[in-house]
């Protein structure tokens, strides 16, 4: 971290983005909201645009909002501090979004975790199957809010 830090003008980034993106500021880190079908184009742009080059995907997760699911991607640059949070809303009954395992390879494991815990289908994922849960848990997604399991879950 010896090189000087350069600030990113996120408004300009949003203006240059290949797909429509909504910028939310006022949060600890800037947030980009994108429609799920547009996510692969935005991901490629964030990874390759010369002023960004966000090569470090450090957190990939999902939040169940009971009416919909939200995918949350935390991206950063490997030398500069340029954290940005990308969010995308998914339909709760048929959640699907493109996989970014081809862009950031760490996504392969993280997407498998989100797949089993939330039931999100990642299109184009190289190997989408259960990672943590044992066989036979397909279709039951423990981190969803309405998940009930009388055997494995204890109410506090």
Partner 1 sequence: MLQEITSTDTGCLTINVGPQHPSTHGVLHLVITLSGETILRVDPHLGYIHRSIEKMCESLSYRQFIYVTSRMDYLSSHINNHGCALCVEQALQIEVPPRAQVIRVLMDELTRMASHVLWWGAMAMDVGAITPFFHAFRERELINEIMEETCGARLTMNYMVPGGVMFDLHPNFQKRVKDFIPFFKSKLDEYDELLTHNIIFKQRTQHIGVLSREDAISYGVTGPTARASGWACDVRKRVPYECYDRLRFEEVVEQAGDCYARYLVRMGEMRQSLSLVEQLIDNIPQGDFQAKTKAVLKLPKGEFYSRVETARGEFGVYIVSEGGTTPYRIKFRSPGFSNLSALDHMARGHKIGDLVAIMGSLDLVIPDIDR
Helices (H) and strands (E) in the chain, counts: 3, 7
Q: Is 78 in the site for partner 1 (CB under 8 A)?
A: yes
Selected from 9, 93, 135, 148, the binder of partner 1 by CB under 8 A is 135
What is residue 155's DSSP assignment?
A: -
Give me the sign of the Cα torsion angle 20, 73, 47, 120: negative
* Residue 156 neighbours by CB under 8 Å, 6+ apart: none
CA 129 – CA 131 distance, rounded (Å): 6
Q: Is 156 in the site for partner 1 (CB under 8 A)?
A: yes
Q: Which stretch binds partner 1 (CB under 8 A): 14-22, 37-45, 92-100, 103-111?
A: 103-111
Q: Is 72 in the site for partner 1 (CB under 8 A)?
A: yes
Selected from 16, 68, 79, 140, the binder of partner 1 by CB under 8 A is 79
Give the nearest distance from C-beta 69 to partner 1 in angstroms: 11
């Amino acid at each position: 971290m010896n090189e000087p830090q350069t600030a990113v003008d996120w408004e300009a980034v949003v203006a240059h983005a290949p797909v429509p993106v909504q910028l939310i500021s006022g949060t600890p880190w800037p947030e980009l909201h994108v429609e799920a079908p547009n996510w692969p184009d935005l991901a490629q742009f964030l990874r390759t645009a010369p002023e960004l080059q966000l090569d470090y995907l450090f957190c990939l997760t999902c939040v169940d909002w009971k009416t919909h699911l939200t995918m949350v991607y935390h991206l950063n640059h490997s030398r500069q501090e340029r954290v940005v949070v990308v969010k995308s809303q998914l339909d709760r009954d048929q959640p699907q979004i493109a996989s970014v395992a081809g862009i950031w390879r760490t996504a392969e494991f993280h997407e498998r975790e989100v797949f089993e815990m939330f039931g999100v289908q990642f299109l184009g994922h190289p190997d989408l199957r259960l990672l943590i849960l044992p066989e036979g848990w397909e279709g039951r997604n423990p981190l969803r809010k309405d998940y009930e399991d009388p055997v494995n879950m204890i109410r506090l």
